[in-house]
Structure 1
């Protein structure tokens, strides 16, 4: 227990040096430091750095309607993708939470091919993910002789909402933090709500604008003949087309059925054109690149509209076939607008529009005040603990204070190294750790006092004190660590921040109490060989 061979001393020193290096960016500017050294300190949470808090909600009715709309497209293909003489005519119509399909082509006897239609539609009906017994996503039933009704049962609705919530959280993260470097926090609340915390974000309206768009991207052929556009403006649009316009185009007739969709986009990013003006660059996947090439090859001279949420972003003329799948959108963008649009395009389409229920803005000034108050409280707590330990245990209490300082450095180093976010409850966890960190030392020192009163020499009293206190200290810290893990797994936001700092503090405090303080004590004993310990 009191043996410290050179390899063990080297390990202790390396651990302490690692803590100092990782914690250094919190107190010094490391921008010009060598490449192997960290440049960034502890990430500050919303309550310390300031930023935006948004609570959002997705509407279950809209989620189900959107899924039924996709299913209706599949039904249309399933009932129409056969030889013309065998087609089963139908008119799908979505009404609230149900889809009604009306068969329109009876045979010579006046009977509708209901069995064939039901068979084809039921092949499209997948199982509910995670459901027991192979439950289906939709309930499909015949109404009369020529109508089919598709509805969503309660068990399926719950699964669809869970899937939609997960996809929405992913898309929100991709839009707000496309590079994955911002310390945003996105947490679900119930089955249909999401909480977004964006530290350091000064403009809540920008986030709302970024998240309120559907993100539906399509590439559509255009009819730009003046007569057709005039008729459409008069309320008589060409069949299969709709009238749209954009910030850089006048009104154009855009074909309803797109040639390429957002699902065909592999990635998007903000770039610059030849005149160093911001633009949006994106690349299509192999399937999208093939469709894009076929469209540009077969429609030379026509306009090809790039449409985002029913707004024409660009409508270039097709001059020649375009292979490779690399596309760009130019326009009168600022760099921030181009970055936001690129994030929207790459993130994909929302399962449903988000509704904003609550919005809060935390000022940076309030965050700085919280940091100063937390720092002041930590220093006062450290000073009081140090005074108590030195008064109660003399020189060995001073060793405990030294290990406590090392403990704080290791906590900051661990938070920086793990990329954890420090919140105000996290500061409370650090302050609590300062108070708890000396518990192990107190137990050991009291054991040493008892052994010394029983006549043991200083060296054997120290060894017995550490050996007999070890199991008690380990049990107490393991149970606290379990509590911290449960808080992290079941809690959210501030509770998680408290749990992280508490868990790290438990591990570092056990290390400093049983290794660093013991090392200080052993070095002193072997150097000065006192006949009695002043404990």
Structure 2
């Protein structure tokens, strides 16, 4: 157990040196870090909101808006299904009221066929339940009402999608390590270290970025449109900043979920714009739409407002188009980011907002560092006084353990929070526990009259079992804290998990290698521990 081949010694020593080198950037001030040559590692630990300062925003979803969107999507699906049925099913008096969709099938012989067409639409294949309930009243009127399971599943899916969209948007502007977690059924917490002014962040996150292309209703009466009265099958949408309103066809068109790319650009007048490209399916639909309605006006709609309504002069093939308007360069860039990251499936409003300054974090870091220094010094002195040479090995392992924790956190781009500092200090205090067990076991074996090599070998062998068992249970606890805990608890769990692994490695493997080398070099005749 004390035999270490030269190759193994070289590998372990190289690993220790690498750990120390990777830990150094996290200990250097930023001014010195920027001056390091490019070939040296520069990964550092990210500081959390409570240490670096930043913005805390609590967002809440509008459930009523989601219900309306679900009804619109249901109506579109029902109309398409009835048109595609063989034979085609005629429907009348389609209406949406009181959160339900209703329509009449005038031909009573098609009632059963209509029901068959509706079954795939109302089913939720993921959960095996129904999103909508079907009723047939008065012989030929269908009523589709939302099922409770469908509402819950739709909201849960929308919130998961919204969380992913927010994550992509924040990371697209280069912000590192945001904390984005769901809270309850319809809320999302966003914490972004390093950003003290949340206004730009709120604008980027809160923009739904729902892009649509719809045909303009060229038969609408301008006076009725100005009065906000839409014909059947149309809707009135506003231009931004009091630019009036326009009537567009409510159904049909193309949604922005088929976008492949969105990049800031300039239009033919050298003004900021956004160039978009659809995927293959969206490109085909866009080409078909522009071919079918050449000479017609179509509206480019973003978040319920008409950006522009150009005329389709010729078919637009290739799936590439351009969105232009009264954009600034920054607005065009933010719009491109929002479109690339996808549309929010539900509107989110800010219900809580806090800006955290770095002063509290600086004070926490200083106090945490002071606690770490005092704790480390006390442990180093106690181990040396108690165990002599073996205490020195334990102390060296402790210092390397600290460096390896920093190195792993930097490589993993982990975020250090205030609870993480507590976990760090706790790890330092507990890191020498393994060496205490080993050294006490070696003392016990020596008192039994075993020779030096046998006492040391048995001490490491027997103590290692208890060390591994104890630390495995600690790792399990840390994993559960990480999986089920919130942001601060997860920060504590991350440092604790890393610290447990590195402390066992340095305390058991590294000190054993050092003790083995000392035995071979000095061949002591007496064991003092």
Match of 2:17 in 1: 17
Match of 2:485 in 1: 491
- Greater CA deviation, 227-236 or 498-507? 227-236
Q: Is the 8 A contact 1:55 1:195 kept in 2?
A: yes
Which one of 454, 460, 472 corresponds to residue 460 of structure 1?
Answer: 454
How far the C-alpha of 1:213 sits from its partner, in A, is 3.4
Match of 1:102 in 2: 103
TM-score by length of 1: 0.88
Mark the runs of 5 or more structure 1 residues left unpaired by the alignment: none
Which one of 54, 78, 84 corresponds to residue 81 of structure 2?
Answer: 78
Match of 2:257 in 1: 263
Match of 1:92 in 2: 95
How far the C-alpha of 1:177 sits from its partner, in A, is 2.6
Match of 1:126 in 2: 123
Deviations 1:383-437, CA, capped at 9 Å, x for gaps:
1111111121222212211111100111111111122221111111111110111
- Greater CA deviation, 44-53 or 503-512? 44-53
Q: Is the 8 A contact 2:384 2:391 kept in 1?
A: yes
Q: Is the 8 A contact 2:379 2:429 kept in 1?
A: yes
Match of 1:66 in 2: 69
Match of 2:421 in 1: 427
SS class of match (1:306): strand
Structure 2 CA distance for partners of 1:300 and 1:34, relative to 1, 3 Å: farther
How far the C-alpha of 1:75 sits from its partner, in A, is 1.4
Superposition pairs of residues 365-404 of structure 1, within 5 angstroms:
365-404=359-398
Q: Is the 8 A contact 1:185 1:196 kept in 2?
A: yes
Superposition pairs of residues 462-481 of structure 1, within 5 angstroms:
462-481=456-475
SS class of match (1:321): coil
How far the C-alpha of 1:130 sits from its partner, in A, is 2.7
Which one of 47, 56, 66 corresponds to residue 59 of structure 2?
Answer: 56
Superposition pairs of residues 60-209 of structure 1, within 5 angstroms:
60-81=63-84, 87-96=90-99, 99-103=100-104, 106=106, 114-127=111-124, 129-131=126-128, 135-178=129-172, 182-209=176-203
Deviations 1:343-363, CA, capped at 9 Å, x for gaps:
322333333222433322221
How far the C-alpha of 1:180 sits from its partner, in A, is 7.8
SS class of match (2:212): strand
Superposition pairs of residues 277-356 of structure 1, within 5 angstroms:
278-297=272-291, 299=293, 303-356=297-350
- Greater CA deviation, 304-313 or 472-481? 304-313
Which one of 519, 526, 534 corresponds to residue 520 of structure 2?
Answer: 526
Q: Distance in 2 between matches of 1:156 and 1:71?
A: 12
How far the C-alpha of 1:217 sits from its partner, in A, is 0.8
SS class of match (2:124): coil
* 1:449 is aligned to 2:449: no
Deviations 1:33-56, CA, capped at 9 Å, x for gaps:
666654321122211121222222
Q: Distance in 2 between matches of 1:467 and 1:290?
A: 69
Q: Is the 8 A contact 1:212 1:354 kept in 2?
A: yes
Q: Distance in 2 between matches of 1:467 and 1:2?
A: 10
Q: Is the 8 A contact 2:277 2:319 kept in 1?
A: yes
Match of 2:47 in 1: 44
Q: CA RMSD in A?
A: 3.0
Q: Distance in 1 between matches of 2:218 and 2:43?
A: 54
Q: How many residues align?
A: 525
Q: Distance in 2 between matches of 1:76 and 1:275?
A: 41
Structure 2 CA distance for partners of 1:367 and 1:303, relative to 1, 3 Å: farther
- Greater CA deviation, 236-245 or 300-309? 236-245
Q: Is the 8 A contact 1:128 1:137 kept in 2?
A: no
SS class of match (1:215): coil
SS class of match (2:8): helix
Structure 2 CA distance for partners of 1:461 and 1:429, relative to 1, 3 Å: same
Match of 1:232 in 2: 225
How far the C-alpha of 1:168 sits from its partner, in A, is 1.9
Structure 2 CA distance for partners of 1:316 and 1:66, relative to 1, 3 Å: closer
Q: Distance in 2 between matches of 1:454 and 1:533?
A: 13
Q: Distance in 2 between matches of 1:470 and 1:436?
A: 15
Q: Is the 8 A contact 1:400 1:517 kept in 2?
A: yes
TM-score by length of 2: 0.89
Q: Distance in 1 between matches of 2:55 and 2:491?
A: 18
How far the C-alpha of 1:457 sits from its partner, in A, is 4.1
How far the C-alpha of 1:374 sits from its partner, in A, is 1.6
* 1:506 is aligned to 2:500: yes
SS class of match (1:2): coil
Which one of 220, 225, 228 corresponds to residue 214 of structure 2?
Answer: 220
Q: Distance in 2 between matches of 1:83 and 1:513?
A: 75
Deviations 1:328-380, CA, capped at 9 Å, x for gaps:
32344344422322232233333322243332222122222222222221111
Q: Distance in 1 between matches of 2:393 and 2:186?
A: 54
Q: Distance in 1 between matches of 2:122 and 2:218?
A: 40
Q: Is the 8 A contact 1:42 1:412 kept in 2?
A: yes
Superposition pairs of residues 26-41 of structure 1, within 5 angstroms:
26-28=26-28, 29-31=32-34, 37-41=40-44
How far the C-alpha of 1:441 sits from its partner, in A, is 0.8
Deviations 1:202-221, CA, capped at 9 Å, x for gaps:
23233333333332211234
Structure 2 CA distance for partners of 1:180 and 1:386, relative to 1, 3 Å: same
